Structure 1
Amino acid sequence: MATQAPQPEVEQKQPDVIANTSEEAPVEEAYQLTVKLPSGKLGEIKILASPHEAIHDIKQSIMESPQTCAHSCFYLAFNGKRINDFMELGEVEGITTESELQLVEDNYTERDVRVHITRLRDLLGGPYKQNSAAIGIDPSISFLTAVTGEIDEEFLAEGDKKMEDIFSNEPIPEHAFTGVDVEAPSNLADFVPTTFQRTAPQCLKSISLSGWNPVSHSRRLAGDLLYLDVVTLENETLHITASTTGFFINSSTASEFNPRCRGANKRAHSLIRLLQTLSPQFASNFIKVQDFITQHHMLEVLPVNTYFPSHPWAVKSSEPTFDLARPAEPYLNFGADAVDSFRDWNDELQSHRELPKSNLQERVLRERLITKVQSEFTDAAVRGAMAVANGSVIPLNPLEPEESHMYVYNNIFFSKGNDGRGTFETLGANDAAHVATGKDLEGVKMLNSIDIDGLYTLGSVIVDYKGIRVVAQSIVPGIFRRQDENSIVYGSVDNGVTITADKTFHESIEQNVAKPLHLSEHALVDGQGESTKLFTSVETKGLLGADGRRYLLDLYRLNPVDIEFQESECKATDGGAPAYPHKMTLLRPELMSMYWEHMFRQWYKTKVDAIRKERSEAAGAVESAEKDDDKKDEKDAEKEQQTDVANKQQQEEEDFNIDVNEFQLTFNTDVFTTANQGENATIKEQEKVIRGASKFLNDEIIPTLVLDFASYAISPLDGDALTKAMHRRGINMRYLGKLAKLVSVSEDKRIHHIHALAIQEMIVRISKRLLRKYTATLDLEESRLCLSHYLNCLLGGAVNAKPQPVLPAGKNKNDYSWAHLTPQSLKKIMEDQVLTWFRYTLDDKDWSQLKPLPTLREVCIRAGMQLEARDYRFAAYTPEEVAANAAADAQLESMLSRQQNQQQKSSRKSNKKHQQAANSLATATATLRRKTTFIPEDILNIMPTVKQASTRSVFAEETFEAGKISLAQGERQLGLELLMESLTLHEQTYGFLHPETSKCYATLGMIYHHGEDRETALDLQRKAVIAAERTLGVDHPETVHHYLNLGLFEHAAGRSKLALRYLRHALYYWDLLFGPGHPDSATADNNAGVMLQSLRDYKTSTQFFKRACATQENIFGKDHVLTASGYHVLAKAYTLLGDFNEALSAERLAYGVFEKKLGKDDHRTKESDAWLKELTSNALLTAQRAQEQQQLQDQQSPLEKVKQHANNAKSEAIKGELPIDQVLQYINNGTSGSSSRKTGKKSNQKRR
């Protein structure tokens, strides 16, 4: 993109880095262009652009610049000739790297006027302008600018920090943790930072379409396009005409139409310029708006176009604002004919997939277009699904039962995710159908990932809203037409009664699907006894569309059955768990891939071992013969033997010519199903393979995951991270109970947090299932009542053991099943459901360790709730609080009663007193103590949850992985080049705002940080933070980790106060995500302690080190080396604080563990021993001096005692404020070695 501002260092370096990669052409010189402006104070601007950049992209950058944002309808000219907007800059004839372009104002069309007005409204609304079309509150929000605040520290390059800074006499600077109780839990009311500013300065009272629209035919001939009404801050109403030549003030009023222009100075080409000349307040405040926008990072302002935006689960309620133009936004954005312009989603998706991909540029363009149209399809599908769930769409088959209804809306086909036609009756009915929809989407994702040629999948999205699952799919051409012959040419539509297998379809599946997925060709017997061979399951269908394309549908059985689970759990046992609710228990694709690789490695090892054995035997026979025939001395024999061994190893490496194609392992997805495959030895062998995969999951993969948890190879923070960790290893979530049992049996404190997380995840998943059942038949008003009551029963039982549900007027409890819930009954239901779905028995200990805030967060996210960000009480009231609350309630109720009586007695004439009484009554009512934790008004919005089959850029990911491998192998330059190329591919394919791009930013930022390029590292890490906030969520674990790293980078750059702001922000969300006790939290606390020491706040830093030690001791135990290291650091912190007794106690603990675990010769033991000796001698010296001092004070006059006390205080302050090495020197020599200071605890220390 062209730009007027200097680019961040990473972007400037990027062409140089990519220039060395294999596929890219040499980088051409950038164009430094001058653009002459038509009028105004600013005569020209400078543009930096690439020769391959399109002219319309350069125009867009001009429109987005604060200096030239008033221009939207113009063209660029070179040497007086208009340049085509779709040309590349380098294609313009005669242009050079330092040419001059002219910005020429163009005539407006009706579309140009709408764009101009929309852009002005967007500018006036600021970066967080209210979006009337958004499905939730605060979509894709970012807090980075709010958290950053005003930076009052200088950026320091490596080596700039000087030693004399350590001995500063300045007071301890105020920072993010000043006056903060480190041990206090996070308050949900602080979810949105107090520094977050949502609204921009107001420039106009209103801007709206005039009632004189639409323009009459005669006025269109005069050039009029649109009429506007603008009310300025000076309370002047302006009637404005948008014409082909610009904007002018007409002479109309609200009651009389007069199109004539008021005067020559009342006309301008840009509406912004016109308003600046007519309204002084608009002119001044518009500059403030521009400043407000430019204070934000570029990525905070850009729209999220290629990923479903995140919506926070906790939000601040805000009052609606009056805006006459808001209802007209669809017209301003899309024009009068937008309703009739339905898109052919299927043709767009498939046409983009058919684009060429023979070189890198074509692949990038193809993937970018596919990503964009899929994102737009998802957005349309979500809105359509909400309309279907709300009953706003008429079904295609209204006479059939509601469960079977089908819908078409906005050229998208919608159906409910239940068993409306009895397809899954024998497998679990609606439960099986619900799972099948998710597996079908998984199948679409699998086929999209392998990028099949000649076969097509539908655009697919699953939307869960108000307890209803809606499946959205693009429409196959001709699917609703009656045809003479069946369009299903592969598979079966009647459960195997008739089976077809088109030859072309079969061959295409073999080449494009069966090979990468390792699917087995197998014979199936239809109702007539005829055998047909298929690669996919009989339930997978191949359809020949009217457009000639071949589509694969119903892909929920691309993976085989988990037979071990099905045989053991899908039937009830005496005294055990009930039967699992459905038989759609399939293995995950990740597991099948891992199992295939596992079997391949075993096969390869067997081959290698056989070859080695054969060669060893042959070599032994030759050696024996040589010994018999040739008698050589022992020295020559030894040399020959060594040579033989070396040659043998080299020969093995060169001569292991094993043909990997000999390995054959394929999976039959129809085994262990109702499909008729006959009886033969092949089927038995295929069943054995599938059973082996199922055993591999239980015997190898799940135990290995537990070991990974114990070694901290994986350390999830929330339920979503735990789910992803299990899925990446091919483990279905039905094994969550088994995982919890394994973790519990291990009795390893290091993974106690995993057990707590697994319990929480099971409860959250059952909550989602129960809420789906309760809200499926409710409207939105009733859903809010149900959700608040459910939360009270789940999390508010300590506050109110018998919460009463709020019911609609005229309804009673018997009208709703959820209204009968109590905390005790819900607990019983939950325990039964957890046993049924996860084969795990919840006990009282499990319930006691449930953390309210993290659980509330997970339930809200899974159920699509947006909750008021306020402090909710979960703990029971103490007797003292109960008594105080009762007295307060009685007083308030008495006051309310008096006010009501006064209100009834007041005369109609005393309106003022009547209004004051009403206001007091409302205020008093609002202050009444809540009887429950949640009330219906806390639920501010109910949102859909979305699953989509998004494609991934394989080439970008492969380049990214290759870069990481190169770095791991020590090839830093090559690795950096590959990662930079991968970043370019990510930005071109996904855009700047995407989770994958965010990961790329973060990885590169860390590499530059280690390479001491701090400015580039910070720029990349800020981008990572914003991209994660706006796509994953402001409190997502990845966002939290990005903030922690950004804090480390800022601290390394010398901005420790800014770093602490980021750390406090991250630690706040960390507490909401998990609470205390996570293993990784000790690292974050240690980092915070180090930063606070650099600001000389030793007291607060010691609190963080103490908390880190407590976490490590709780998880690892006192006898662990990591715990000892923590105590060693804590001892240093106490020393800087001047608390030598505590320092000595901590160091003793550390030394004892180091000596026991590492031995006396280890450097950590030696260092600890040195500290221990010095601290011990210092303790003795301090005690001796204290005794002498006491004796001396007994003999001194009162005045001398005061002086001596002051000197002692100064001495103690000096000891507490010196760096660690100088504290040791002080202890050894009994002198500080530096001048005295006026205040204590104010010097810096070396970074640890």
Structure 2
Amino acid sequence: FLQHSYTMRDARLHVRHVRNLLRSLDPADAYNGVNCSSLSYLSVFTSRYEGDAPLGPTHSLWTAALQTRCSPENSANWQPLQCLRVLTTSSWNPPPGNRKMHGDLLYLHVLTIEDRELNITSSTRGFYLNQSTAFSFNPKPAVPKILCHSLVELLNQVSPAFKKNFSALQKKRVQQHPYERIAAPFQVFTWTAPHGDHTLDRVRAEETHTSRTGQDEHTAGQSRDWNEELQQCRELPRASLQERLHRERSIFKVTNSDFVAAATRGAVAVVDGNVMPLNPGESPHMQMFMWNNIFFSLGFDVSEHYRPLGGNTAAHAAARCDLRGAQAYAAVDPDGLHTLGTAVVDYRGVRVIAQTIVPGILEKNQEQSVVYGSNDNGKTVLTHPRFLELLDKANRSLRIQRHQVLDHHGRPVELCSGMETIGILGNDGRPYILDLLRTFPRDLNFQFTEDQVTEEAPQECRSSGFPRPHRHSLASLRPELIQAFVQHRRGDVSKSARRNATLRACKAVGSVSDSHFDIRFNPDVCCPGTEWTSSLTHSEWHALHATPCQ
């Protein structure tokens, strides 16, 4: 009997599903990104350009598509069929104790198209009409008693208009392409959607009022361990094509879909004040948060770490630079080197950084956990043979030069990344790299302040007005520019190699090898707080002077 009876969770999910079916053709949820709903223009272009060539329209600006879909001649396709005027939980909730013993789970209030008010009981056996009114509670079944396992079935029997319109709505919904019916696992930017009428939806209002900061309180089980899921996906075998496809699908599902969605909900909850901070005694911009096994911090210079780089402006830009660095290492995908799941969310003028948690990082200070790099602007610089070996595998693809800097004792320390990139050994035995904002070399065409001392720029740069003052010193070269520059120098080597001058050609373009082409860049060149050994190498000089000006 228990296997076929409703529970409170089943009843709420059933009502939510009916609500989703009633609003399946309404674009409001897609505009607002509700439950990962997203906009689709497939039917617009396929219907409009049905007789054209297979290439379709010459342009597909989605803003034009919005105007097309929202235009008066197409408004009929967007207007959903109204099946009910009101579907919401009743004010008689929750059921009293004696009614809970009879199996009552919750009470619903429905107003049909015929303006008939219905009070419905959701019980462990199904749905039936009761005799309650707006001001009188009577849980007894109405006469004649109609007990249905589905709420839709009950409404079909008591409302002819609902039966007609709901059947037509479902037929129209089935005619849509699956891409228009299935929620997309991509981020939806609600601020890009057009403004429309805000319609009455009491089920939506009830869900918003009772939601616990966006986390489904009816989902069984505990919170997900995002870091472990992500690292296990990256450690999946990839020897065969089938294994690689399975691995890529798993990484996309965990990182780009589930984690980003959870991080977005958590960031909204943090900014809205629905999450208690870990350090409530600090000022608001210095507070940190933990929600759903995700660590949240704000894009402010909380400990004056970025003051030499530009203060809060640099801290705001560092979040984006760190995300780009994490994406770069994830694209290279070196075996054995782990990065954190990272998402950057801008909401209501606040930048929120969401990251997975390194196992054991909360049990001790970060200063005690760092075994590689520097987290105090170069005052203390550490190196570790394991991180040198792992980072060196990725350096060839990322064009990063292995170099030496001086630590606080004046001793040379070897690094395979930017000095501010730190390495931590987690309690799970995995090596993690964090703070990847210096993955790409600094753009010397921009300087932090006008009075900052810089080496004299080439004449062609000064004639174009470079270097220019900038708000922070985290401006870096885009990876596309680095790749284009490398390809350009590769062409120079090919021309010189025809004259049997490979050695001179490699030296001329700044290759780190005399026998083959391998040009790299030093991400620490001209970075504040960096102390160098006696002189720069030839390839580091090229990273400083030979990069394009614009």
What TM-score does the superposition give when structure 2 sets the normalisation length? 0.79
Partner of 2:530: 675
Partner of 1:502: 384
Aligned: 1:371 with 2:225: no
In the TM superposition, what whole-angstrom CA distance separates every residue of 1:141-188 from its partner, at most 9, and x where no partner exists?
A: 34565687799x9x7999xxxxxxxxxxxxxxxxxxxxxxxxxxx9x9
- Flag the structure with more relative contact order, 1 or 2, with Cα contacts below 8 A and sequence separation at least 6: 1
| 1:1087-1166 map, 5 Å | none
Q: Contact between 1:227 and 1:240, CA under 8 Å: does it hold in 2? A: yes
3-state SS, counterpart of residue 404 of structure 2 = strand
In 2, Cα distance between equivalents of 1:214 and 1:447: 52
Question: Which residue of 660, 668, 690 maps to 2:543?
Answer: 690
Aligned: 1:282 with 2:142: no
In the TM superposition, what whole-angstrom CA distance separates every residue of 1:951-991 from its partner, at most 9, and x where no partner exists?
A: xxxxxxxxxxxxxxxxxxxxxxxxxxxxxxxxxxxxxxxxx
Partner of 2:356: 474
Cα distance, 1:542 vs structure 2: 0.6
Distance 1:350 1:217, change over 3 A: farther
Distance 1:257 1:454, change over 3 A: farther
| 1:294-443 map, 5 Å | 294-304=174-184, 306-311=185-190, 313=192, 315-323=194-202, 326-328=205-207, 336-337=217-218, 342-374=223-255, 375-443=257-325
In the TM superposition, what whole-angstrom CA distance separates every residue of 1:253-280 from its partner, at most 9, and x where no partner exists?
A: 553343557556x123322222212221
Distance 1:157 1:396, change over 3 A: closer
In 1, Cα distance between equivalents of 2:215 and 2:445: 55
Distance 1:295 1:483, change over 3 A: closer
| 1:818-897 map, 5 Å | none
Distance 1:245 1:357, change over 3 A: farther
Partner of 1:580: 470
3-state SS, counterpart of residue 25 of structure 2 = coil
Count of residue pairs the alignment pairs up: 510
In the TM superposition, what whole-angstrom CA distance separates every residue of 1:9-55 from its partner, at most 9, and x where no partner exists?
A: xxxxxxxxxxxxxxxxxxxxxxxxxxxxxxxxxxxxxxxxxxxxxxx
Partner of 1:205: 85
Q: Contact between 2:83 and 2:113, CA under 8 Å: does it hold in 1? A: yes
In 1, Cα distance between equivalents of 2:327 and 2:151: 47
Q: Contact between 2:33 and 2:189, CA under 8 Å: does it hold in 1? A: no
Q: Contact between 2:375 and 2:420, CA under 8 Å: does it hold in 1? A: yes
Question: Which residue of 392, 398, 422 maps to 1:517?
Answer: 398
Distance 1:236 1:478, change over 3 A: same
In the TM superposition, what whole-angstrom CA distance separates every residue of 1:82-129 from its partner, at most 9, and x where no partner exists?
A: xxxxxxxxxxxxxxxxxxxxxxx9654444433332221111123226
In 1, Cα distance between equivalents of 2:476 and 2:276: 35
Cα distance, 1:341 vs structure 2: 5.0
Cα distance, 1:406 vs structure 2: 2.6
Letter of the aligned partner of 2:378 in structure 1? G
| Deviation larger for 443-452 or 282-291 | 282-291
In 1, Cα distance between equivalents of 2:425 and 2:115: 65
In 2, Cα distance between equivalents of 1:366 and 1:220: 47
What TM-score does the superposition give when structure 1 sets the normalisation length? 0.37
Partner of 1:797: none
Q: Contact between 1:524 and 1:533, CA under 8 Å: does it hold in 2? A: yes
Q: Contact between 1:455 and 1:550, CA under 8 Å: does it hold in 2? A: yes
Question: Which residue of 113, 119, 123 maps to 2:21?
Answer: 123
Question: Which residue of 467, 483, 488 maps to 1:598?
Answer: 488
In 2, Cα distance between equivalents of 1:273 and 1:668: 69
In 1, Cα distance between equivalents of 2:48 and 2:481: 50
In 1, Cα distance between equivalents of 2:166 and 2:445: 68
In the TM superposition, what whole-angstrom CA distance separates every residue of 1:1080-1117 from its partner, at most 9, and x where no partner exists?
A: xxxxxxxxxxxxxxxxxxxxxxxxxxxxxxxxxxxxxx
| 1:171-190 map, 5 Å | none
Gaps of 5+ in 2: 55-63, 454-461, 503-512
Distance 1:324 1:690, change over 3 A: closer
Partner of 2:39: 141
| 1:835-1234 map, 5 Å | none
Cα distance, 1:190 vs structure 2: 8.1
Partner of 2:459: none
Partner of 1:239: 119
RMSD of equivalent CA atoms? 4.1
Aligned: 1:536 with 2:417: yes
Partner of 1:293: 173
In 2, Cα distance between equivalents of 1:670 and 1:339: 48
Partner of 1:488: 370
Cα distance, 1:510 vs structure 2: 1.8
Partner of 1:1228: none
Distance 1:529 1:556, change over 3 A: same
Gaps of 5+ in 1: 1-104, 159-185, 613-658, 699-734, 736-1248
In 1, Cα distance between equivalents of 2:366 and 2:174: 63
3-state SS, counterpart of residue 358 of structure 2 = coil
Distance 1:229 1:191, change over 3 A: closer
Cα distance, 1:289 vs structure 2: 1.6
In 1, Cα distance between equivalents of 2:204 and 2:261: 23
Partner of 2:500: 610
In 1, Cα distance between equivalents of 2:470 and 2:53: 61
In 1, Cα distance between equivalents of 2:514 and 2:4: 66
Q: Contact between 1:126 and 1:292, CA under 8 Å: does it hold in 2? A: no
In the TM superposition, what whole-angstrom CA distance separates every residue of 1:733-772 from its partner, at most 9, and x where no partner exists?
A: xx5xxxxxxxxxxxxxxxxxxxxxxxxxxxxxxxxxxxxx
Distance 1:362 1:106, change over 3 A: farther
Cα distance, 1:287 vs structure 2: 1.9
3-state SS, counterpart of residue 537 of structure 1 = coil
Distance 1:146 1:579, change over 3 A: closer
3-state SS, counterpart of residue 501 of structure 1 = coil
In 2, Cα distance between equivalents of 1:441 and 1:678: 30
Q: Contact between 2:9 and 2:218, CA under 8 Å: does it hold in 1? A: no
Question: Which residue of 129, 134, 158 maps to 1:249?
Answer: 129
Distance 1:258 1:533, change over 3 A: same
Cα distance, 1:668 vs structure 2: 2.2
Letter of the aligned partner of 1:687 in structure 2? E
Q: Contact between 1:570 and 1:582, CA under 8 Å: does it hold in 2? A: no
Letter of the aligned partner of 1:691 in structure 2? L
In 1, Cα distance between equivalents of 2:418 and 2:491: 27
In 2, Cα distance between equivalents of 1:241 and 1:275: 13
Aligned: 1:666 with 2:531: no
Q: Contact between 2:110 and 2:117, CA under 8 Å: does it hold in 1? A: yes
Greater radius of gyration (CA): 1
Distance 1:423 1:335, change over 3 A: closer
In the TM superposition, what whole-angstrom CA distance separates every residue of 1:800-845 from its partner, at most 9, and x where no partner exists?
A: xxxxxxxxxxxxxxxxxxxxxxxxxxxxxxxxxxxxxxxxxxxxxx
Q: Contact between 1:562 and 1:586, CA under 8 Å: does it hold in 2? A: yes
Letter of the aligned partner of 2:517 in structure 1? F
Cα distance, 1:323 vs structure 2: 1.9
In 2, Cα distance between equivalents of 1:142 and 1:557: 38
Q: Contact between 1:147 and 1:193, CA under 8 Å: does it hold in 2? A: no
Distance 1:476 1:215, change over 3 A: farther
